[in-house]
Amino acid sequence: AQSVAQPEDQVNVAEGNPLTVKCTYSVSGNPYLFWYVQYPNRGLQFLLKYITGDNLVKGSYGFEAEFNKSQTSFHLKKPSALVSDSALYFCAVRGQSNDYKLSFGAGTTVTVRA
């Protein structure tokens, strides 16, 4: 079985401050990890993924995420948040098998205030 936990329903930060959205996962074997962002009434947009290799992954719009195997975490970060980063963020995981099904976290609503 595979699962994702996003412990924070909401994250509020001021524009220009660092942004962190937390994610921990559980999966058999090595994971594929993903972050997606969803704006109101839209589908999910892919931000970044971890497959293997460097633990620090860089993605779209200045976002990055750090894979930590010992802590089974994949936290999303942005050094300087923008008001336009306000959205719903989902972490997702799947095991390295032929089954492409993802397990999603409950989502974290990010609000960046001007």
Residue 97 as a binder of another protein (CB under 8 A): the answer is: no
Q: Which is nearer to another protein, 14 or 106 (CB)?
A: 106
Q: For the residues of 4-28, what is the DSSP string, one character each?
A: EE---SEEEEETTS-EEE--EEE-S
Residue 82 as a binder of another protein (CB under 8 A): the answer is: no
Residue 51 as a binder of another protein (CB under 8 A): the answer is: yes
CB contact set of 17 (below 8 Å; sequence gap of 6+): 80, 81
Do the strands 10-14 and 108-113 form a parallel or antiparallel pair, or are they unpaired? parallel
CB-CB neighbours of 81 under 10 Å = 23
Torsion of Cα atoms, 52 then 65 then 45 then 14, to 10°: 180
Binding part of the chain for another protein, among 19-27, 60-68, 76-84, 102-110 by CB under 8 A, reads 102-110
Judged by CB under 8 A, the residue of 5, 8, 15, 49 near another protein is 49
CB of 28 to another protein, least distance (A): 16
Q: Which residues bind another protein (CB under 8 A)?
A: 32, 34, 36, 41-46, 49-52, 90, 96, 100-102, 104-107, 109
